[in-house]
Amino acid sequence: MPGFELWGAEERKEVNDVLETGILMRYGFDGPRKGIWKAKELEEAITQTFGCKYAQLTSSGTAALTTAMAALNIGAGDEVIMPSFTFVASFEAVLSVGAVPVLVDVDDSLTLDPEAVRKAITPKTKCIMPVHMCGSMADLDALASICKEHNLILLEDACQSIGGSYKGKSLGTIGHAGTFSFDFVKTITCGEGGVVMTNNEEVLIKSDGYTDHGHDHKGVDRGADLHPFIGYNFRISELHAAVGLAQIKKLDRILAIQRANNKLLRSYLEQIPEISFRTIPDPAGDNASFLSWFLPTEELTRAAVAEMKAQGILPGNFYWYDNNWHYIRKWDHLKQATSLYNLNDAQKTALLKLQTQDFSASDAIMGRCISTAISLSWTEEQIREKGEKMAAAIRKVLQEQTSNA
């Protein structure tokens, strides 16, 4: 799944280019850097690889989301509709700009349910933010139609779906803006990093300034730049960009391995009639970093998790329903509005309301879901062994249920 599995001489070469100059910052020091501009190179590679006009690198995927919202003028009092199944960074970014996260149910695509989105729209809604979880995409046609109907912003959190696509367009390039995370466990990694992608030049200009203290970057002397607006330090370093530059050249290889390994492992689970698989709006666009599957009931799913754990085959199989990072059920700090600084009143009210909000539709899906991470380092023999062991453990659980019925 993560690009770090293919770490090698290519990454070392790009990093050494930077180390030889000693210029680790992406801006300035034009002479000493001797023409080495890794961040600029990576931004250009991103536009060419994913088919967007503009790319602005950031220090993390969270910083990318925060930057994109600021550049899209999403702020205090604005409501951002997002899924109940995501990574905590998604709502952290919303809160960081003063906006209000409005969480709604997911469907069996494990992404935003368009009908739940429609029901959540209020006069304060500013943005719909699908999160393309576990390598696959939301129903972007439906969500784009809703945005157009209500004049809303479509911001793609594509941090977990690098290399995925929807009807021929790269995920993260379809909305008004989109973001990737390049942290250590993403499809391609910088170690730490992220990017805002957009086809809107104004969004790019604002993102460029926002990530560097508001600098307009119009002169040759960064110290003499004007500051048209307030910004923050969300810069990526040249070292991190150098790693990403090597990694992006491996993306096609990574995707090919993931898709082949995913298909082979799936062939073992497909032999069990009780197992179903997540809905993928465009199967050809799945980046295949996870194989997500369902058992008929939560009870059976928990039993399968326990059995795989007992047999030592649980690592890499994620039961998100009990996960502290990815599903609202365990986000007590969010539901209790526990913050080190004062949240605004609209945020506090919305977060406390989550304690009593009905997420039973999401529970019915997530309680039955297991996602298996697809490793790039597996051999065919290892995949077949894993598939056989997983299938045997699941059949054992199903047989026990039948015997106890």
Torsion-angle region of 293 (φ positive above 0: left; ψ -120 to 50: alpha; else: beta): beta
- Rounded to whole angstroms, how far apart are CA atoms 96 and 343? 9
Question: Do 254 and 135 form a contact (C-beta atoms < 8 A)?
Answer: no
**Which are the contacts of 171, defined by CB distance < 8 A and separation ≥ 6?**
132, 137, 156, 158, 161, 162, 164, 165, 178, 285
- Rounded to whole angstroms, how far apart are CA atoms 348 and 401? 44
User: Which residue spans within 15-78 are E strands per DSSP?
Assistant: 54-58
- Rounded to whole angstroms, how far apart are CA atoms 276 and 370? 11
- Rounded to whole angstroms, how far apart are CA atoms 176 and 120? 20
CB atoms inside a 10 Å sphere around CB 76: 11
Q: How many Å is the Cα radius of gyration of the chain?
A: 22
The residues annotated as belonging to the active site are: 186
- Rounded to whole angstroms, how far apart are CA atoms 69 and 158? 14
Question: What's at 129, amino acid-wise?
Answer: M
**Burial 47-69, CB ≥16 within 10 A → b, else e:** bebbebebbbbbbbbbbbbbbbb
The SS3 assignment for 224 reads helix
